[in-house]
Amino acid sequence: MPKSLPVRNSRDTPETGAAGAPGGQAAIAPRQTPMTVPRFVAAKQAGRKLAMLTAYDHLWAGLLDSTGVDALLVGDSMGMVVQGRTTTLPVTLSQIIYHAEMVVRAVKHALVVVDMPFLSFHVSPRQALANAGKILKRTGASAVKLEGGVNQAETIRALAVADVPVMAHVGLKPQSVLKLGGYRIQRDEERLMADAHAAEQAGAFGIVLECIPQEIAARITRELTIPTIGIGAGPHCDGQVLVTQDMLGLTGGDIHPKFVKEYVNLREIVAGAVRNYAAEVRAGEYPDAAHSTT
Ligand code: KIV
């Protein structure tokens, strides 16, 4: 089952950001310039779409970063993708810090954004500030993300006032799964508009729109000056984010959310390679002379 939906430094050189490759190719050119929060925001004004993916460890972060992807999210989706849990709720602050440290060590170009786990920012703006501080100081990441709009406006403001770059997340908020009773598309337009505007007014530098109708995402994208990053929110957002393991066909499973495009079936490719390896070992064919030392 795809994990994204369980229904489911001083970086001051000029922008040379990656644009779409010629001939309609979807490939992202390797980035020459490290992404910063101001460049991320400026991409919207420049009409350049932003490509974001999740990363939870050093190996994948380095590989993804080498492609020129704009941003990497150390998402609390790691609770499902890495830890095998059914929700993101058990992920702790120290776990997300542990994973973000690995990611930051590998990244040279992408903006690294780290999710604030469930109940690590809800108690008070003061608690949020303390925990966001731990995340940024211990990991070297560039920004935090938290789920909320109107209900977290005070907290977003407190972080922004302290110069902590904060990305908001509205629409389907996986951390609200207990209250919602499941993972459902969010369709209340007035509420979504209010959440998006509240996040921007409070000082968020960007906003994730998860599982909302594309027309509402288009309206939010038009009305906000900060970039909207969609996941299951249609093509009109300023950028897109997916769980890497979903788009690489690693998570598999029976439920396929419509928005997840599998660009490759790595599950099949990896399983095939492992089966070949095991067969060769059992047949005494590996290691052969070419892979042995004399
Ligand atoms: O945790 C996560 O990976 C996320 C994205 C799917 C937006 O919040």
Q: What distance lies between CA 187 and its chain's CA centroid?
A: 22
Ligand 1 atom at shortest distance from the alpha carbon of 145: 8
- Provide the pLDDT confidence category of residue 256 given band limits of 50, 70 and 90: confident
What's the domain range around 57? 22-263
Do 162 and 109 reside in the same domain of the chain? yes
What percentage of the chain has pLDDT greater than the value 70?
Answer: 89
Query: Would 8 be classed as within a structural domain?
Result: no
Do 184 and 294 reside in the same domain of the chain? no
Do 211 and 80 reside in the same domain of the chain? yes
- Measured by CA distance, the residue closest to atom 1 of ligand 1 is 75
Do 137 and 225 reside in the same domain of the chain? yes
Cβ(115) – ligand 1 distance below 6 Å: yes
Nearest partner of 4 among 230, 242, 202, 221, judged by Cα = 242
Identify any residues that bridge with 168 across adjacent strands, giving them in sequence order.
146, 207
Q: What is the pLDDT of residues 3-31, one digit of tens each?
A: 555 443 333 444 443 333 444 444 555 55
Do 106 and 222 reside in the same domain of the chain? yes
- Measured by CA distance, the residue closest to atom 5 of ligand 1 is 75
DSSP labels, 16-44: ----BPGGG--PBPPPSS---HHHHHHHH
pLDDT at position 255: 72
Nearest partner of 17 among 111, 85, 121, 120, judged by Cα = 111
Q: Write out the E strands in the chain.
A: 50-54, 71-74, 111-115, 143-147, 166-171, 206-210, 228-231, 239-242
Do 139 and 214 reside in the same domain of the chain? yes
Catalytically annotated residue among 15, 147, 210, 262 = 210
CB within 8 Å of 63: residues ≥ 6 apart:
none
Cβ(4) – ligand 1 distance below 6 Å: yes
Cβ(228) – ligand 1 distance below 6 Å: no
Cβ(221) – ligand 1 distance below 6 Å: no
Number of domains in the chain: 2
Do 161 and 273 reside in the same domain of the chain? no
Higher per-residue pLDDT: 161 or 27:
161
Mean pLDDT computed over 56-68: 98
Q: Are 74 and 99 within 8 A, CB to CB? A: yes
Mean pLDDT computed over 57-63: 98
Query: Would 10 be classed as within a structural domain?
Result: no
Do 253 and 278 reside in the same domain of the chain? no
Do 45 and 109 reside in the same domain of the chain? yes
Task: Return d(Cα 163, Cα 11) in angstroms, integer.
Answer: 16
- Provide the pLDDT confidence category of residue 92 given band limits of 50, 70 and 90: very high
Task: Return d(Cα 11, Cα 38) in angstroms, integer.
Answer: 10
Ligand 1 atom at shortest distance from the alpha carbon of 4: 6
Do 118 and 190 reside in the same domain of the chain? yes
Q: Residue 227's domain is classified under what CATH number?
A: 3.20.20.60
Q: What is the pLDDT of residues 275-291, one digit of tens each?
A: 999 999 999 999 999 99
Query: In this structure, what token pair is assigned to residue 12?
Result: 């001051």
Query: Would 229 be classed as within a structural domain?
Result: yes
Active site residue 190: no
